[in-house]
Amino acid sequence: MKEYSTKDIRNVVLLGSTKSGKTSLSEAILFEGKVIDRRGTVEDKNTVSDYTEIEKLSQRSVYGAPLYAEFEGKKINVIDAPGADDFCGGAFAAFKVCENGVLLVNAQQGVEVGTEIFARHAGNAKLPLVLAINQLDSEKADWDNLQNSLKEAFGGKPVYIQFPVNPGTAFDSFVDVLTMKYYKFTDQNGKCTVSDIPAEYADQAEAMHAELVEKAAEYDEELMMKFFDEGDLTEEEIIQGLSTGYAAGEAYPVFCLSAKKDVGVRRLLEFITHLGIVPTGNESDPASLFIYKNDVEQHLGEVSFFKVMSGIVTTGVDFEEPNTGAKERFSALYAVAGLKKESVSCLHAGDFGCVVKLKNGKAGTSLCAIGAGLDYGKIAYPAPKYRCAIKAKVQQDEQKLGDALKKIASQDPTVIVEYSKELRQTILSGNGEQHINVVKWRLNNEFGLDVELFAPKVPYRETITKVACAQYRHKKQSGGAGQFGEVHLLVCPAEGDLNTKFMINGKETQLNIKTQDISEMEWGGKLEFYNCVVGGAIDLSFMPAILKGIKERMVEGPLTGSYARDIRVFVYDGKMHPVDSKEIAFIIAGRNAFREAFRNAGPKILEPIYNVEVMTPAEYQGACMSDLQNRRGILGDMGSDKGFAILKARVPLAELYRYSTTLSSITSGSATFTMEFADYQPVPGDVQNKLLADYAAQEEED
């Protein structure tokens, strides 16, 4: 492979819904770029980008696949991103390293929810988009409906470069209103004839060309003035205006394709080559790179895929991780097309490549020349939407399971694994049930582990709703030194202004605060601790022990063993012994006095509430609303956006297990959602009674 400078590199991510044809387009791009001499198909399980076993079995992309093509003296790096929202991690990694996006739209379906979602993600990442209308050779391809769908979804942003002359099973030609030529394809390998536009399409071509000229003028003030003066622009001026609008994200150039038949692919590549955004890295700066993906390949070991962010990366030179100073040296560099890797001597700023067996080669890692201090941050992945508990069916395999999950999460950072001390469970989180099922498949088939997935416990919280007092004496005499400590305390909710006047033992009592300790609990909420003891009933040196005992009890709340929060404690009296009083005695006394007071203070279980936002086609709005209400959800604002209904609700986490699966089922896979922690709220009385009964039964069983 020749050496490419930054100005001759283009980086593109392919986006689109499942079944929009991204993998087929990848094959056609590789074919046009002379990387392969025969195109594979998803059905035959022989494509370059879907090379893992799970992708072949499921016949869809699961991971973002880096590819490249050499075209007209340029190198086009491509990332084929998965289409399912469950596997969106590949797209978000690509947003970090690509300057251009091609959004595929299925000519049969028009703009789908997935199309809209990827367009939004790209917009948030400020990624310019080309709209590639694929599968125009399908029987149900409908150009008129497609145009309406694009307008409804994207407003005036679509800018038509082409229109098909015969959409449907016979699709083999289109009119290009930029070049004002007619392209007719004579085989299924991209061969075509370019000629003048036939008379029957001339009027439509002229009308669309005029629209294109006007659109191009809108994006450039000088061109707008010329357009007003002369009423037309040259092809070069149209390209200039279009390039400005595309770079600003205001113009989505529209191209006509059949990726499977290689119709229109070369023309799309010409656009990317001539108008695509060039990487911004400077070749004369110190060398640096950003690792956006890593994988483990059978014959190579761990592979780290990167983009050169600045300078020129070569072998035999030391790099360092800027935060830790850890050193790396590359023994070999490769250009990547799926499993195919071609050795190269160097890579310039903006280019993609890979290396093997780095010590610090995880996704999201920056490496740079020694002392350069260049750090490119992390990849901003979306929050997970599906969580479950996981354990090995054979207890002895727990350590192996932990190691396997660690490897999987390093290869796919959207897989999140954490052990919850609170729940005493390993929690596995991902983007959906399909995503988690892939993890399970890998554990079964790649690591030989039999695992169980089940609903995780809910991280409830416990608090109180009123004032209560209690006292506890701890006295122990066992022949040697004794233990003695007595604590009298009052508890109330930690809310509102601080009040120090209470009814204690039937008498209104004013408490005088001597010392205080206000602690923010690591699980949320707080504990306010006030020492109001007078007359030396308890020595000040024992107050930390009483506080420690209370905090120990808050770790395992009196109701269900959940964390307690938002409580004020006033220690107002007690007793001690000149010989037998010790720290342990006051820890125990404080813990038990708090437990008794808590139980008498209108204890309440709190549950985590999440803000859920659902985006669904309007026809499924009623079904989605009913389902949310059945989950104890409280519906909030409702709206619409480009043909889709937007539902917002507050839903308890306890009711959201497998919600992504249910939502897909009731909307035929056309809806999506986001969820974000909101706050804790009291559970309804019937739910609290059930939780108390379940906890009592569990304690009895234990």
For position 545, what pLDDT does the model report? 97
CATH for 462-602, options being 3.10.580.10, 3.90.550.10, 3.50.50.60, 3.30.230.10: 3.30.230.10
Q: Where are the domains of the chain?
A: 6-275, 288-369, 386-454, 462-602, 608-687
The residue behind tokens 């911004």 is: 280
In which band, very low, low, confident or very high, does the pLDDT at 154 lie, cut at 50, 70 and 90?
A: very high
Secondary structure letter of residue 258 according to DSSP: B
Crossing angle of helices 433-445 and 398-411, in 10° steps, is: 120
298 three-state secondary structure: coil
- Topology at the third CATH level for domain 6-275: Rossmann fold (3.40.50)
Report how far residue 260's alpha carbon sits from residue 21's, in angstroms, rounded to the nearest whole number.
8
Structure tokens of 521? 């609990």
Is residue 298's pLDDT more than 80?
no
Average pLDDT of the chain is: 94
The model's confidence at residue 503, banded by pLDDT at 50, 70 and 90, is: very high
CATH topology of domain 386-454: Alpha-Beta Plaits (3.30.70)
Provide the pLDDT for residue 338. 87
Q: Is 357 left (phi over 0), alpha (psi -120 to 50) or beta?
A: left
Whether 397 shows a pLDDT value over 80: the answer reads yes
Give the pLDDT band (50/70/90) at residue 268: very high
Mean of the pLDDT values across residues 456-477? 95
296 pLDDT higher than 80: yes
pLDDT digits (tens, 9 = 90+) for 525-535: 999 999 999 98
Residue range 26-72, pLDDT digits in tens:
999 999 999 999 998 888 889 998 888 888 888 888 899 999 999 99
Stretch 247-255: mean pLDDT: 97
Q: What b/e readout covers 591-624, taking b as 16+ CB neighbours within 10 angstroms?
A: bbbbbbbbeebebbbbbbbbebebbbbeebbeeb
Q: C-alpha 242: how far from its chain's center?
A: 32
Confidence at 641, pLDDT banded by 50, 70, 90:
confident
pLDDT of residue 317: 92
Given this model, what pLDDT does residue 697 score? Answer: 87
- The fold adopted by the segment(s) 608-687 is Alpha-Beta Plaits (3.30.70)
Q: Return the pLDDT at 479.
A: 64
What whole-number distance in Å separates Cα of residue 457 and Cα of residue 474?
34
Cα–Cα dist 431/660, whole Å: 9
Q: What is the dihedral of CA 103, 107, 112, 118, to 10 degrees?
A: 0
Query: Average pLDDT in the 178-198 region?
Result: 95
What is the pLDDT at residue 696? 87
Mean predicted confidence (pLDDT) in 577-600: 94
Q: Quick one: average pLDDT of 78-101?
A: 94
Instruction: Determine the average pLDDT of the residues in 110-119.
Output: 89
Residue 654: which pLDDT band, with cuts at 50, 70 and 90?
Answer: very high
Report whether pLDDT(294) > 70: yes
Q: Do domains 386-454 and 462-602 have the same CATH topology?
A: no
**pLDDT value at position 702?**
66
Task: Tell me the mean pLDDT in the region 388-416.
Answer: 95
Per-residue pLDDT at 49: 87
Please tell me the CATH superfamily of domain 288-369, with its number.
Answer: Translation factors (2.40.30.10)
Q: Report which residue type is found at 595.
A: R
The helix, strand and coil proportions of the chain, stated in percent and rounded to the nearest 5, come to: 30, 35, 35
